[in-house]
Chains A and B, each alone.
Chain A
Amino acid sequence: MSHFRSDIRQRAEEAVALYPRPRSAMLPLLHLAQEQDGYLSDQGIAEVAELTGTTPADVRGTASFYDMFHLEPVGKYVVGVCTNIACLLAGGEEFLTHASKKLGCAVGSTSDDGLFTLEETECLADCDVAPVVQVNHRYVRTTTPESFDTMIDQLRDGKLDHDVPSHGTLIRVRRIGGLRASREEVAGQRTAAKAARDARAEGEAK
C-alpha cells in the first residue's frame, strides 16, 4: 500500500525515471513527500526508501542534512527571516525579534494555532531587499515591520493563497514528459561523436 496519494506517487515515479539511478531522485522525492504531508512522516520516509532502493535510516539521515526538510510537523506557513551579513547590516536580527512577537512563537517553533513556524535562515540570496523574508520559500519582500504585519494578516485571511501554497509545495510547474533522448539514441550519438572527433583530430595531426 502506497502512502503517497496517487498523483504524488505518479510524480514520484516520473521523477525516478529522469535519473540514471533511482537514488538520485532522493531530494525531489523528499520534496514530494513533504508536499503531501507538510513534513517528512515515517511513512513518507519509508516510501522514499522503497522508491530509491535505500533504507529508512539512510533516507532519514540524508533528509536531516538539509534544512528545508522537516522531520517533525510544522505550520502551514514556514516563515524564514534572514539574519546573515547583508540582512544583519539592514537590521535582520531586530526584524526577527519583531516577527517572533507578531507570530507569537519563538524562533524554531510553531504558533499555537499551528499556522506559522518561524525560522532564522542563512542568506536567501535576495540581499538587495534586506532584511529578506520568505514564506514557504516564496519571497514576500516585506522589509518593514508594518509591511510584515500586513503580509501575515493577508496570509491568515487566505488572500495570498495563490502566491504562497501551503508548506512543502515547491515546484508547481510540472515537467512535461520524461526523457526524450532514448538510451540507444544517446549511445549511438556518443559513438558517432567520438569517431568524428577522432577523425578530425587525425586530420589536424596530418
Chain B
Amino acid sequence: MASLDAPRIVSSRREFADSFTLTRYLETGGYVALKKALTMFPEAVAAEVDAASLLGRGGAGFPAGRKWSMLRKSPISYLVVNGDESEPATFKDHYLVEHDPHQLVEGVIIAAYALQVNQAFIFMRGEFALGLERVQQALNDAYAHGALGSKIFGSEFSLDVVVHPGAGAYICGEETALIEALEGKRGFPRIKPPFFPAVTGLYGEPTVVNNVETMSNLPWIVNNGGAAFAALGGGRSTGTRLFALAGRVKNPGVYEIEMVKNTFRDLIYDPQLGGGIIDDKEIKAFIPGGVSAPWFGPELLDLPLGQDEVAGEGSMLGSGSIVVMDETSCVVRAVWRITKFFSRESCGQCTPCREGSGWIERAMYRLEHGGGRMEDLDLLLDLCDNIAPGLTWPPQQTTICVLGSSIPSSVHSAIQMFRDDFVAHVQHGGCPHE
C-alpha cells in the first residue's frame, strides 16, 4: 500500500481553483517563510537547505545545499531558475508554474537571499504561455506586495526577478545551454570544464542554476526546518517529490508522495494514484525517470522511489516522470519515437549526437515501418556504443553534454529486454501490431 500520510510540501494548494492568486497564497501561509528567512543570516538559511539534503529536482539530483556551499569562496552573481521542462512525459513544473507561481517566486527570493544574489532569472519554456503569464502576474503582485524589489519587506536586501521565455528547444534545459539562451544565443551547451555554472555561468560570472520544483520546496523548508524535511523519505532521497505519471495508466497525473517509502508499484497501482493499467492489462515496461533513462521491466515494480535505489539498478529517477507501457504498446515504435525526439532536439554541435541520433532514428523508422534487417540490431547497438562507449550506466561520453549519451538508453535497454519484438518487426516487414 502506498504511504500517503506525508505532508504535501509543494502541492498543498491543490484543492483551490484560485491557487495562483496572491490572495489565496497569503491566506494559506504565503510569504511567511520569506519574512522568517530575512531575519536569519543568509548562511543559516543555506544551512537549513543543506540539512534538508534537498536533491535537485531537475534531473541530475545534485544536492542543492552542496551546490550553494561550493560557492562560499566566490560570491554568486546570478540565480537562474530552470523552468524549461521539456523532458518527454515530465509535467510537474508545468503544474507548479501554473498553479502555484507565488510559491516558486517565494522560493526564488529565499534562495537569492541565501546566496546574496540581487538579480534572478526564471527561464521558462516558451510553450508555457499561461505559466509565463501566471508567473509574470505573481512577480508583479510580489513587487506590489513589497516581497520583491528594493529593500524587501523593509530589510537590507533587494532583488529583481525577470521571467525569460524560451522559444522551443529541449536542449535549453541543460543548464549551460540555458545560460547561452539567456545570453541571447543559440542554445549550444557549453563545453566542460568548467563543470559548473557556479564557476563560470551567465556572462562568465558565478551562477547558480536550480529547477522550479527545487525552488518550490524552499518556503516549506524554511518554515518547518531542514530536519523536518530530512525526516521524510529515506537515505539520500529526502522529502516528498512530484512524480509525473503518464502512459497506459488509468489516472495519469502529477502526484506528490514521499520518496523511498513508496515504490513504483504503489505509484502505478494505488487507487489514489495511478489506479493501475488501462483495461487492467499487463504492464510490459516502464521508464523510471524520463526518456533519457534506461527502461525497467515489471520485475522492478517493487523498487522504492529513491535516487540511489534506481541508480543501483542501472537507471535513474531523473526528472521524476514515469512512463508506463502495457502489453498493447509497441516497444519498437516507442523507441523509434524517442530516438526521433533526440534527433530533432540534438543541438547539433557534437558529431556523434548530431549524426548518430539521425542515423539511429532512421534505422529505427525502417524497423517499425518496414525495411528493417537483422543486422540492424547489431548496427544499432554498435552505433550506440560509439556514442556512449561501453553502454554502461551512468554512460561514458563522447559528447559535450549528456543529451548525446542519453540517446542509447532506450535503444539499448529495449533491444536487450525485447529482442523478440525487434526480430518480429524484421520478419514481419514492419510493425506486427498494425
The answer to A–B direct touch (Cβ < 8 A) is: yes
Q: Would A85 and B337 count as touching, CB distance under 8 A?
A: yes
CA distance A114 to B140 in the complex (A): 37
Residues in A neighbouring B164, C-beta threshold 8 A: 24, 27-28
- The range of chain A's interface size is 35 or more
Cβ-based interface call for B40 (8 A):
no
Q: Would A61 and B186 count as touching, CB distance under 8 A?
A: yes
CA distance A3 to B177 in the complex (A): 30
Q: Would A122 and B129 count as touching, CB distance under 8 A?
A: no
Residues in A neighbouring B150, C-beta threshold 8 A: 180-182, 185
Q: Contacting B160 at CB < 8 Å: which of A31, A67, A181, A192?
A: A181
Q: Mark A145-186, 1 if CB is under 8 A from B, else 0.
A: 000000000000000000000000011111111011110011
Smallest CB-CB separation from B182: which chain A residue? A24
Q: Contacting B323 at CB < 8 Å: which of A23, A83, A85, A170?
A: A85
Number of A-B contacts (CB under 8 A): 207
- B residues 175-194 with Cβ under 8 Å of A? 181-187
Q: How far is the CB of B211 from chain A (nearest CB, A)?
A: 13
Residues in B neighbouring A25, C-beta threshold 8 A: 184
Cβ-based interface call for B247 (8 A):
yes
Cβ-based interface call for B55 (8 A):
no
Smallest CB-CB separation from B181: which chain A residue? A27
- B residues 114-173 with Cβ under 8 Å of A? 116, 118-119, 125-130, 132-134, 136-137, 139-140, 143-144, 148-150, 156-160, 162-170
Cβ-based interface call for A137 (8 A):
yes
Q: Would A69 and B167 count as touching, CB distance under 8 A?
A: yes
Q: Would A84 and B41 count as touching, CB distance under 8 A?
A: no
Looking at B82-90, B262-270, B353-361, B414-422, the stretch in contact with chain A turns out to be B82-90
A-B contacts, 27 of them at CB < 8 A, read A67-B169, A68-B168, A69-B168, A85-B89, A85-B291, A85-B341, A89-B334, A123-B87, A125-B94, A126-B91, A127-B321, A136-B129, A171-B129, A173-B133, A173-B134, A175-B139, A175-B163, A176-B143, A177-B143, A180-B143, A181-B119, A181-B150, A189-B116, A189-B118, A189-B157, A190-B118, A194-B75
Apart from the given pairs A19-B162, A21-B203, A179-B119, 11 other A-B contacts in the complex at a CB distance below 8 Å = A65-B187, A67-B169, A68-B167, A84-B337, A85-B341, A89-B329, A121-B127, A139-B130, A174-B136, A175-B139, A189-B158
User: Interface on A for B, CB 8 Å cutoff?
Assistant: 18-21, 23-28, 30-31, 52, 54, 61-63, 65-69, 80, 83-86, 88-89, 121-128, 130, 134, 136-139, 170-177, 179-182, 185-186, 189-190, 192-194, 197, 200
